Amino acid sequence: MWWVLAGVVLVTLYIFSHVDDWGRDLTTNFARTDAESDDLRPARIALPLEPAAELIRRAAGKLPGWELAEPQMQQLDDGSQEWHFVRTTRLMRYKDDVHVRLEPIADGSGVIAHIRSRSRIGKGDLGQNPRNIRELLARIEAESSGS
């Protein structure tokens, strides 16, 4: 019987250690980059559209639990591209849909990567969707710098 109590304690500790914002993380299952955000800003990539898309695919491919959901991107009317990835969480194997929209910068200096992540189930995500975005942004930065 003690092992059941130990399991409950471990799960509780895991949840408490992963929740960043109690006001948001228990009631929201969606996150997106925002130019006004402190840490979830869209990524600016100093590459043309196609090389930037390849960088994004390579970055996501190096992350554990990430896979390209659709082998083809969506070409949007405004000239931007959108890629769909699925991120599977380690512990519970939940799947989150992550969409990356690559928008060419008007002056031709590169693209801006707008990222949004949504959980497929649940009312709250315990902060997983913002973590998905931070994880991808960090990997994009590493790929851009050649790491």
End-to-end CA distance of the chain: 48
Looking at residue 97, what is its pLDDT?
97
Residue 1 included in any domain: no
Q: What is residue 8's predicted lDDT score, i.e. its pLDDT?
A: 83
Indicate the average pLDDT of the chain: 91
Question: Cα angle at 133 between 131 and 135, to 5 degrees?
Answer: 65
Range of the domain at 120: 22-144
pLDDT band at 16 (very low <50, low <70, confident <90, very high): low
How many percent of the chain have pLDDT more than 90? 67
Could you tell me if residue 117 is inside a domain?
yes
pLDDT of residue 147: 65
d(CA 87, CA 63): 9
Is residue 65 exposed (0-12), middle (13-18) or buried (19+ Cβ within 10 Å)? Answer: middle
Predicted local confidence at residue 15, as pLDDT: 66
Determine, yes or no, domain membership for 100: yes
Q: CB within 8 A of 137, min separation 6: which ones?
A: 33, 40, 43, 115
CATH of the domain at 47: 3.30.310
In a domain, 55, yes or no: yes
- Is residue 115 in some structural domain? yes
**104-131 confidence digits (pLDDT tens):** 999 999 999 999 999 999 998 989 999 9
Phi, psi of 129, deg, nearest 5: -65, -45
> Does some domain include residue 14?
no
- What is d(CA 2, CA 7) in angstroms, rounded to the nearest whole number? 9
- Is 12 part of a structural domain of the chain? no
Query: CA-to-CA distance for 103 and 60, rounded, in angstroms?
Result: 18
